[in-house]
Structures are given as C-alpha cells and as structure tokens.
Structure 1
Amino acid sequence: MPPPYATPTVPQTPAQIEAALADLAATFPALCTLSEFPNLSVEDRKIHFLRIADAPQNGRPAVVLTGGVHAREYAPPDALVHFAQNLLVSRTTGADIVFPALSCLPLPAGPAVDYPPFTIPATQVERILNGVDLYVAPLINPDGRLFDQLNPPTDPVKAGWRKNRRPHPDPAKMGVDINRNHDIAWKFEDYYDMAIYLSFYRDGPASTDSRQETYRGPSAASEPETANMQWLIDHTRATYFVDVHQFGRKVLLCWGIEDNGSDPSMNFSSPAWTGKRDGLRPGSPALPPDRLDYQEFVTNSPPHFVRNTLGTIAGEMRDAILRSAGVDPTVTTASPQRAHSTYAVGQSASLYHPVGGPVTGTSDDYAFRRQFDDPTRAPVFAFTIETGHEEESGFHPDYGSPPGHYAKIEREVHAALAALCNFAA
C-alpha cells in the first residue's frame, strides 16, 4: 500500500488492491471493517469491500461507492482505494488531505495545464465519517481487470477488455457486461417498442449477442459480480450510490432507462406500458404522432424532492471538481483549467445520445429502483461518474508525471466523492 497521500505510480493489480484493503482494515480497526462479498468471481476470486465509519451503525445514511465494473477502466479502483486511505489517515491524524500542485499534459500534444494544490479539510472528513456509513467496493470485476492487464490492447486509449470472464468455448463470446446485467428492465425487448427504438438509434439498450461488449448475459443478475453489487445495495439499504467509471467527464444521474418524467403511471413496473416505451428524447420527430412520449417517473414531492435533489447533488460534484482545478464554478471566465476539468451533468439515459439511446441493466438504475420497490425505505440517490477523458489516455491513463493523467483523474474523483459524502452527512 502506498504511504499516506501518495498517488499510485502504476495501475494496481487485483491482488494489490485486495492487499491494500486488508492493510487498511488492519491499520485502522476502530474506523474500518473488511468484509467479503457473498459470491466469488467467475474465476473463483474473493472480492472484498470496506465499511468506514466513526461509530457503530445507528441509522445514519449509507453511502455505497463502487468501481472496477468494466475491466479496462484502470483509474476508478485505484482512486477509490486511495480515497478510503486518505479519509482514514486524515481522521486518525487530524491532518487535511492535501493534493500537491500538478501539471497535466493533454493528448495528443500539450500545452501542459497547471493545477494548484487542492485540499479536503480534516473538519470535512470528520463530518463525513461522523455522519455516514461509508462502503467502498473498489474492484467489482477482478477477473476482467487482470485479463486486461495481462493482455494489453493495441489501442490502450480506446480499446481493452470490458466484460467479466464468464466462460465460453468460443473466446470471442466470453464475458458479460456487468453494467447491463442488473435486474432493471433487463429484458428490454419486453420493455420497449423496439421498432420505434431501432428506427432512431444504432443499437439497442444492451446486446443479446455474447460477442458484443454490452452483452447483457443469459438472465438478470446471472453474474456473481452483479449479484454482489445488488446484495451490497440491498444489504446496506444504500441511500447514496455512486458507480465510478471511465471515461467522458460526466456526472450522470438516474434514470438510465428513460428520460425522467412526473407521471406516476409511467414506471418500470407498469404492465400497461409493456412493449410500448419509446426510449426517445422528448419531442423526438421519430415518435409517431399518435403515440404518447414515455418518460420514467421520478417523484419530486416533499420532503425529499428526489428529482431536484438528484440535480443538486450532481451539480455539487461537478462544482467540487472545478474547485479542485482552481476554478470558481460561479464565474464563467474561460481558462485552460476550466476547459479540461468541466464535467457535464445529465441523465444516464442521454449518455450515448445522439447515436445511442437509454441503457438497461445498470447498477445505478438498480439502486435507484429500490425506493420504488419498497416505499417504506428512504429515497435512493444514485449516480454514475465517467471520470477522465480521451485526452488523458482514455481507459488506460498514464500514471507517470508528466503527463500526470492519473493524478489529475484521482483528484477529480476524490473531490466529487467528498462532495457527495459531505452532502449525505
């Protein structure tokens, strides 16, 4: 494990990540507990997560942070381990979390962008750990990550292994996209009017072809890694959930299955809409004039105002990233730092727009649906962060300095997650 506040200098292997989690639990036993997921990976690896809090569970909101769902996305697991480490060291020593000044060289060629030092105050860390039960699961898909590390792609920026390693006699058909395998609109052909959907979009919301990167798997939650994520969300009764991915500089809020709406009759469990949902953006010319535009219901009633609060939290994460870059979010003055550190806030349903439509079977939508399945539970605020950018080596950021791609991404992840945790606390 790296020393306090040190940024990893190379992508960590699954074994190194597991060792770091165990070391944190052993070093900070009063604050940190190591737990094992109920399912081994498809290649029989144990997968662990941390619970971090300053007191026993007592009804405080549960914040669940996950990463490493897609194998080739190197930065999120390392950034999550280091986020946990920084919180624990700060809470124990009373020291601020300080990220030094950084120079980052965008691809394909500079000029380098200079970023000032960035601090997460110890008082904020204390507030977070006093106010929430924090669960950190940095590496959901260890098999896929190891495979990608042992089989580096010819184009590390845009290519690499995405899925888990579900076996198949044909190597081209191995694996399932864990983030299309969750139990939310998994059987999308029963959910959407696919003739309308495919008349406008290039592909469906997931793939039924095991050769494709977005293959949804043979059934909902068929993969042990998916089952682990769903178990963690349900076991903790998560109130806040963030799945960290790479890349795109986006803070995405639910829903991913459709654009958000206010009509309670339009919801994922309604049989009246079976095969009739369109998946199109509001006002799309592709929607037949006799068809009502379907929008997925999100409550905005008091006291939680879920729809508005989703936007508020996503905006706070975006603004925290800008502040970490030395940019005042309230001032629109152009600068290199603003140009290279602005994350777009939007719905997961529009992630692939305009060539692609909504997506099904995702982790954040599964977490978000739980409040609709069980009206007695607290609202769930669920997000996906697409961290980093193509100009920062895409899926495989350069860990050296310069160009400092990973170090910049890590700062952004920590800033955003600290903002969310602070809101939750």
Structure 2
Amino acid sequence: MTQWNAHRALYEQEGFSVEIGILGGGIAGLSVALALRKQGYSPRVYERRAAPATMGAGVTLWPNASFVLEELGLLQDIAAIGGRPLTMRRQDDAGNALGGLDIGLLDRTMGYPTHTVLRRHLQEVLLDHAARARIPVEFGHQAVAIELDAHGRAVAQFDNGTSIRPDLPIGADGRMNSVARKFVAGDNAPIYQGFVNWIGVAQSQHALVDDGAILDYWGTGERFGCVPVRPDLVYWAAAQARPASQAIPSADMRGDIEDLFAGWPEPVADIIRATPANAIRLIAVHDLEPLQTWSRANVLLVGDAAHAPLPTSGQGACQALEDAWHLVRCLDSAGGGLDDVFQAFSRIRAPKTARLAEQGRGFARGLFATDPESCRIRNERAKASNPARDVQLLAAGWAQGLPMPAGSEGMPAQTGGFDSLYRIE
C-alpha cells in the first residue's frame, strides 16, 4: 500500500475521510470530482459563481475526451444531447476549398467518437452526475487567497469570509484569475496572443447548415468557424487579429461581425443573424506559459489553471478531462505521499499539455497572419496536405498517455497535429 493510501486507510479506519477541496466548478473541477468519487474519495467543489455557468458557446469533445467520458460514465448522456460530426471542411473567405479533416476516420482510428455540445449542456451533465454521486458543490465561493498555516498546510480563503483547510486542495479555477496558480507559480500572468474571438450560439426554426460538418473559413487576419450540434443549432467563433488596445467589446458587436464578414461564404451571414445580439461575447484570447511545477505544499493545479492552451489547439476541455483520469491513477499508484503523487502527475501531464499549447500557438500564428502572401502560402499548404496522414498525426498526438489506439505504427505522438501546415517560415 502506498504512503498516501495508507494515510487514507488510517483515516477511514478511525471514521474520518481524506478531505479534498476543489476550487472551481467548471469542466476541470467537476470532472476531477467525479473521477475522485468513483475511486471512493469524498471531494467538495467550491465555485466562484452564484449559480451554474451559462456563459460560453460550445465544446468539441474529440476521441481522447470521449475515452475519459466513457470511463466516468458520462458518454451516453453526452451522446444524447450532442452532435456527431463526421467531417471538417476548410475554405478561404471566397469559398475555395482548403481541404479538411475526416473525423469519421479519426474516430475509427482512435476507437471513440467525437461529439459537439453546447458548453452549458456539458456543464449540466457534469452537475447532474455530481448530484447523483452526492458531491457537494458550493456556489458563491470566490477564492481570494491561499496561505500556508503554521504546519505548512494550505488554507484557502473565500470572499464570503469562510475558509477551508483540506488535506488536498486542487486548483481548477481557470486561466485568467486563478488564485491557486498565483499561490503555486507566483507571477505567471496570462499572455494575450494577438487576436479576439466573438462567440455565440445560433438557433433557428430552419436548418442553418446542410449537414453535420464542422466548417472553418480562413481569411487574412480573420477566421470564422461554426460547429453544428444539430442542423438548426450551431455554435460559432469569429476571430480577428487585433492589438491589445483594441481587444474590447463595442456597443454593437453583432453589427461589427456582420460588417467584418460581409461577403464571406454562406452560411456565415445566416448564422450571425440567427444569434441573439445580447448573447454574443467578445474574448481577448490569452494562454499561459508552461509551468515548471504544478504544485506547492499540498496544493495541485489542474485544467486551465495548470495548462491553458489557445482555442486553436482544440484541446482545452479534452485535456481537463484527461487530468481527471490521470490524477486518480496517480493517487492510487504513487509510491509515497502527496509529493510523489504530484511529481508523477506532472511528469505524465506536463509534456503533452506543453506540446499542445505550443501547437495552438503555431496554428494561431499562421491563421491570423495579416500578410496576404503568407496567407496564400498557408492556404496552399493546407490544400496540399495528406488527409490520411493528418488523421494519423492527430490520433498519435491526442492518444498519447491513454490506453487507446494511437494511429499507425511509426507515427510518433510528439509529431502532433496540423501545426506544421500553418507555420509560415
């Protein structure tokens, strides 16, 4: 029995349980809580918002995420509310084809399906399963500080005047204002990466898209991507390269988007018009530099607090789910106390998440280039890519560290996904 599990067993023998407090009730925090509960732990989640989050657009759950969802017993519920895309098609802003991705082949290669889901619906599934598992989720608990007590144990303080001192505090409080990350890493501020995203959800009484394909349109310094959950329900992101001084919302964001993407291929205009103007949100897109360590004292970081990639990585939610799967295995198998658990966890997770973050940056550099010649070269490379090889590269990269198929033999996981197609040299 490991030292950590011996400690846990002694607590349980004496009528106590190991206290695990999770700061953050988003995808990372709730999936970690569910994974811990399945292994017999009793986590408690503390969420800064006063009620379940309804913000955000949607999430594409690639096969590596579906593997974890199946392990957690959630995949059937996700399939019932989500979409099932089989292809992704790329075009330029004039409608010329730039290739795409055979998602059906990717799913078959990795052995699990891809699903598209509204973020609020995914949150509802996670909260529903947390309630079934009797995991307490305390809303209205904004962490404002973490300090060490006289025994070197972390104490998390909330803005409502309460505090907690669990055996294992887990920081899952996001990328932008993470109190847990500040405690672990000090000054490690989010980095603006030179572009903004407008996000929204379009719904109509008629079909907005012809089929279930993900559509990705590339311009010069602009991009529009739309992801159907159903033909009449589509989440989308419109993006533009902008200096930080201009990365602020305007009074008429839908009008701005309609003007910016006027003349782009259908169904871009229909999707924008089918989105309530008051539901469109502007995000100045930031990511984080990879950390040397994800823990301090008895505090561990997970999800965006530990490794927040750009949305161009396509893997933010997927990697949060992978954290949950790996953490419980580290807790059950590490050969010592929490220090050994933390070292094992970061040794497994840090290389993959750092690689994906860099790939997201590489993709963004090419995607939001403002030089027409660079964009022409980018588009030609995309058109010339080998679709079967693209699938194998993605499968190898995304399956790394998981017991699932990883593409063809000889395709090393570290090669990654599409980043080489978009790099402008």
TM-score for both structures, normalised by structure 1: 0.29
Higher percent of residues as strand? 2
TM-score for both structures, normalised by structure 2: 0.29
Instruction: Name the larger-Rg structure.
Output: 2
Higher percent of residues as helix? 2
